[in-house]
Amino acid sequence: MKIVTVVGARPQFIKAAAVSRIIRKQHEEILIHTGQHYDNNMSDIFFDELRIPKPDKNLNVGSGSHAKQTAEMMIGIEQALIDERPDCLLIYGDTNSTLAGAIAASKVHVPVVHVEAGLRSYNKNMPEEQNRVLADHISDLLLCPTDTAVENLKNEGITEGVYQVGDVMCDAVLYYSKMMESHGRKDYFAQFAGLFGNIPVLDSWYMATIHRAENTDRIEKIREILGAFEELDAPVIFPVHPRTKGMVEQLHQQYAYRNVIFIEPVGYLTMLYLVKHAMKTITDSGGLQKETYILDTPCITVRDQTEWVETLRGNYNILAKPDKEDILNKIYQTQTDTKAKEDYYGDGHASEKICDLLSYVKRGERE
């Protein structure tokens, strides 16, 4: 089979690393990078570090409004599909790249395979929720990471072509964790690029990432979140997403944070190391909630909902508002029930199951 895979954002590079390694043993894969994440620290480093094959096509779309970005992706993906005439198109997750790929393929009658189908936060104000719902409803093969995701699709009337395969992010975490431990703590800290000074080698820390639009649309929210970080009992390592960099620099000039270590975005192995050995992780990322769960690190998610509802069981993951007092309360007052933990996300072999199921779709089924 010939498969076109569309990626465009950091979590998708990681998932593609796991799946492409298996797909290319049996099939021909054409990898399209939309350019949604175009900063080197957010993009190129992942292809190098995770040994992902270089993209066959790079659309270099870059930033822009949701409509502009998605439209430009659709144009480039459509042309690639016309040129390549693949048996199917493979998409991941819930980004604008995901939606653009699904729509472009559907219009030219190429079957759509959605990895990580069926996730729902039930907050349609989130662009990610809009993307994942629309992509699911025009996909032909829906590969779900959990039983909850399968049930979500059933509730929306989608039952054909739905399979629970486990989570490819679990595949990646288990695979790359072995590589992660080949380096020592000093090696990881030596590579950090600090935004406001030198970085010491720490014995203990909290890990934080904040980038979602709902937390970065107003500087007041970032100020509350950083205010909580400043009062914690250990330093907070905070790789700064390009979306928040301007606000962070402005606030740091005003407050001169001492307990927050601001660094440039880091590679995946470094991120795994920092999460694995952190006291707790504070994030608004979808994927990082799962990674912390798999790595057995408690998590505080600065959001009103999560699509990864399984992580909430046993208080491995706790939802918090972008409010200093609420974040501090959740960090200090929440006790994790280790007996409640289960392997919700599979056994690390989702990629093999996905590869086996690809034979269920063939070009021409829609024509």
DSSP 3-state percent helix, strand, coil across the chain (nearest 5): 45, 15, 40
**283 Rama sector, left if φ>0, alpha if ψ -120 to 50, beta otherwise:** beta
- DSSP 3-state of 33: strand
- DSSP 3-state of 129: helix
Cα separation, 135 vs 153, in Å, equals 12
Cα separation, 318 vs 305, in Å, equals 10
Q: Which amino acid, one-letter code, is at 148?
A: T
Instruction: Establish whether 211 is a catalytic residue.
Output: yes
Residues 6 or more apart whose CB falls under 8 angstroms from that of 142 comprise 114, 117, 118, 136, 153, 158, 161, 162, 163
- DSSP 3-state of 17: helix
In sequence order, what are the beta bridge partners of 319?
301
Question: CB–CB of 271/301 below 8 Å?
Answer: no
User: Among 52, 104, 47, 56, which residue's Cα sits nearest to residue 81?
Assistant: 104
User: Among 211, 258, 205, 202, which residue's Cα sits nearest to residue 239?
Assistant: 211
User: Among 233, 298, 282, which residue's Cα sits nearest to residue 259?
Assistant: 233
Cα separation, 147 vs 85, in Å, equals 33
Exactly one of 211, 252, 277, 349 is catalytic; name it: 211
Residue 103 carries which DSSP code? H
Kindly list the catalytic residues.
Answer: 211
